[in-house]
Amino acid sequence: MSSISNAIPLFDPRTGEKDGEIVPATSAEVAQAARELREGQASWAALGLDGRIAVMRRWADAIEANAAKITAAEIRDTGRRRVAREVPFIVAGSIRGWCNQAPEIVARTLYEGTSTVMPSISYRTQLVPYPLVGVISPWNHPFLLSMLDGVPALLAGCALLVKPSEVAPRFAGPVSETIATVPELAAVLRYIVGDGATGQAMIEEVDALCFTGSVPTGRKVAEACARRFIPSFLELGGKDAVIVTGTADIQQAAAAVLKGAVHNSGQMCFATERAYVAREIYEPFVEELKSQASRVALSYPDIEHGHIGPYILARQADIVDAQLEEAVQAGATVEVGGPSQTLGGGRYMPATVVTGVDHSMRLMREETFGPVLPVMPYDSEAEAIALANDSDFGLSGAVIAGSAEEAERIAERMNAGAISIQDTSLTIFIMRDVEKTSFGISGMGGSRMGPNSLLRFFRKKALIRQSGRVIDMDSLAEHNAASHH
Ligand code: NAD
């Protein structure tokens, strides 16, 4: 394979072998794409919401029609099959869901009325989309996260420039084929490839920016957006805590906590990364967790079997191993699992349960992003909540108790944007339904879920009408000042 000097190599997560490369879009190419998309946006906005809905529905059909190719590319991006198979249908379903919900959300946001100060003045609101929105997305859910913000932005009437992660960009090829089959959409939606430099070039061109990724990169993105006075919507990392109370069903709680921690090899922003367990059930809970964790299999050598696929980014294995090793040096015990193993060239990590941890360890403070669950006992509800809240992050969390009421009472006191009750990782099931904002360093810029996910792409404009006589200079003269005394 010939290499262009600035080409970025792609590696198959299952073999570690280089299996392709991308040539990052230059600043000039980004600027050109932005110009073309801006030109297309005027007619896209003029189509109106109903017109855009009709186009988006055709795109959903095209995605499903090309599902096999998208899946094949995403398997090479991620090394996992089940999610890759589902993702075209999840994205198509999300497009149709937004198409169903958008008219009502927009309708109830438009309002009119009369000035409470001067009855001759009335107003109505108009929603004006940002002309060009940029999306910069991470590698852990390539197609899904490239479109989570994108679908509502397109429906709002924005044009969209998307840059997926340079670690997992293969899916963008077959997705672009589906876009090309819908000409009205092709004029306003484009994927480009590249790394951080391409991302920075995008920020210089767009009118609003949606970023999903890590906290350090999110900070750079937010700063660059602030310099241009464009809004940035940031969805960053997490360190989700789960609290398991003494009244919980041990088997069910362990199953939920384990799933939350190791699903998708822990490569989820809302993975369960810390568990706090009431001391009276701590020992049997850890035993149950160990026994369930030891039944979780690596998806190796056969991609069609097992639960845990390879790390998508090989370097992530070193980050997780280092956190684990440091915790062990400081006195923690790996009860089952870890560290990572190299199998067939891929980096894999078994479901890992760690005890003897405390908050001095990076394993309890920093995002891990691997299938690792540190577990800590607590003595009182207040202590459990204090431990859960002792974090810079605040993406989401979970509580499992003997009753939903008990769990909910605790959940109300946790500092995070979404708390799953009696299970973990429930966020994915309510994406269009309910709003959540990230607490702490987990994000910024208003909810990407629920109605606000759509509404954030509009600038709100007021049209203010005078139905009486104009307010002239005489009425504003000093000598005509009304006395307020
Ligand atoms: P990352 O921050 O390394 O990269 C994300 C994107 O930013 C990539 O497309 C990358 O090319 C781009 N980028 C890098 N430097 C840039 C710069 N200077 N300017 C502009 N763009 C730049 O993140 P990642 O490693 O790909 O993804 C994993 C992270 O994403 C984890 O922290 C995870 O928690 C987070 N994440 C968050 C959510 C959420 O909804 N909150 C969802 C999934 C993943």
pLDDT tier for residue 5 given thresholds of 50, 70 and 90: confident
For 327-353, how does the pLDDT look when each residue is reduced to its tens digit (9 = 90+)? Answer: 999 999 999 999 999 999 999 999 999
Q: Are 287 and 399 in contact (CB under 8 A)?
A: no
Residue having the nearest C-alpha atom to atom 20 of ligand 1: 199
Q: Are 233 and 444 in contact (CB under 8 A)?
A: yes
58 CA from centroid of ligand 1 (Å): 30
Mutate to test the pocket of ligand 1, among 87, 137, 214 (most ligand atoms within 8 A of CB): 214
Mean pLDDT throughout 3-17? Answer: 90
Ligand 1 atom, smallest distance to 448 CA:
40
The candidate with the shortest Cα–Cα distance to 363, out of 386, 338, 396, is 338
235 CA from centroid of ligand 1 (Å): 9
Q: Is the pLDDT of residue 203 over 90?
A: yes
Pairing assessment for the beta strands 333-336 and 352-355 based on DSSP bridges:
antiparallel
Pairing assessment for the beta strands 397-400 and 393-394 based on DSSP bridges:
unpaired
457 CA from centroid of ligand 1 (Å): 21
pLDDT at 4: 60
Mean pLDDT throughout 18-35? Answer: 98
The candidate with the shortest Cα–Cα distance to 244, out of 233, 234, 236, 254, is 254
Least confident of 57-71, 194-208, 468-482: 468-482
Mean pLDDT throughout 245-259? Answer: 98
Decide: residue 481, CB within 10 A, 0-12 exposed, 13-18 middle, 19+ buried. exposed
**Distance (Å, rounded) from C-alpha 188 to C-alpha 36?**
8
Tokens matching residue 89 = 């249908």
Mutate to test the pocket of ligand 1, among 212, 219, 220 (most ligand atoms within 8 A of CB): 212
Chain position carrying tokens 């969209």: 160
Q: Is the pLDDT of residue 482 over 70?
A: no
pLDDT at 484: 57
**Distance (Å, rounded) from C-alpha 415 to C-alpha 326?**
27
Mean pLDDT throughout 28-44? Answer: 98
183 CA from centroid of ligand 1 (Å): 30
Mean pLDDT throughout 176-184? Answer: 98
212 CA from centroid of ligand 1 (Å): 5
153 CA from centroid of ligand 1 (Å): 19
**Distance (Å, rounded) from C-alpha 18 to C-alpha 1?**
10
User: What share of the chain has pLDDT > 70, as a percent?
Assistant: 98
Amino acid type, 32: Q
Structural element, H or E, at residue 112: strand 112-114
> Helices (DSSP H) in 306-358: which residue ranges?
314-329
pLDDT at 481: 79
Q: Is the pLDDT of residue 1 over 70?
A: no
Ligand 1 atom, smallest distance to 237 CA:
34
pLDDT at 485: 52
> Helices (DSSP H) in 112-156: which residue ranges?
142-147, 150-156
pLDDT at 252: 98
Ligand 1 atom, smallest distance to 148 CA:
40
Q: Are 307 and 408 in contact (CB under 8 A)?
A: no
**Ligand 1 neighbours by CB, cut-off 6 Å:** 136-140, 145, 163, 165-166, 195-196, 199-200, 212-214, 217, 220-221, 235-238, 269, 367, 369, 395, 443
Amino acid type, 394: G
Q: What is the mean pLDDT of the chain?
A: 97
Provide φ and ψ at 154, rounded to 5°: -65, -45
Q: Are 191 and 164 in contact (CB under 8 A)?
A: yes
Provide the 10 A C-beta neighbour count for residue 108: 9
- For residue 469, give every residue at least 6 positions away whose Cβ sits within 8 Å of its Cβ, in sequence order, or none: 120
- For residue 481, give every residue at least 6 positions away whose Cβ sits within 8 Å of its Cβ, in sequence order, or none: none
218 CA from centroid of ligand 1 (Å): 7
Provide the 10 A C-beta neighbour count for residue 379: 10
Residue having the nearest C-alpha atom to atom 9 of ligand 1: 165
Task: Classify the phi-psi angles of 266: left when phi > 0, otherwise alpha if psi is within -120 to 50, otherwise beta.
Answer: left
pLDDT at 2: 47
pLDDT at 64: 98
- For residue 76, give every residue at least 6 positions away whose Cβ sits within 8 Å of its Cβ, in sequence order, or none: 12, 19, 170
Mutate to test the pocket of ligand 1, among 22, 136, 228 (most ligand atoms within 8 A of CB): 136
Q: Are 452 and 432 in contact (CB under 8 A)?
A: no
* Packing angle of the helix pair 196-203, 27-46 (nearest 10 deg): 50
pLDDT tier for residue 483 given thresholds of 50, 70 and 90: low
Q: What is the pTM of this model?
A: 0.97
Residue having the nearest C-alpha atom to atom 28 of ligand 1: 213
Query: What residue ranges define each of the domains in the chain, with the CATH number in brackets?
Result: 8-236+442-464 (3.40.605.10), 240-429 (3.40.309.10)
